[in-house]
Amino acid sequence: MDKDYYSILKFRVLAKDRYKIRHIVENTFLHLKRWRGIATR
């Protein structure tokens, strides 16, 4: 039981970190696209 609990806890921590990185990457592309739209007008 303890082994399953720790594996689930570890998965949640990794998922949280992965979501944080994904959020940063998506926001970076959003800003680049917005800047490109302003720069090409």
d(CA 36, CA 6): 45
d(CA 31, CA 13): 27
Question: Assign residue 2 a region: left if phi > 0, alpha if psi is -120 to 50, beta otherwise?
Answer: alpha
pLDDT recorded at residue 36: 82
pLDDT recorded at residue 41: 62
What does the pLDDT look like over 2-23, one tens digit per residue? 678 888 888 888 888 889 999 9
Statement: residue 1 has pLDDT above 60 = no
> What is the CA 41 to chain-centroid distance, rounded?
30
Tell me if the pTM is above 0.75.
no
Where along the chain do its domains lie? 1-41
pLDDT recorded at residue 2: 63
> What is the CA 21 to chain-centroid distance, rounded?
3
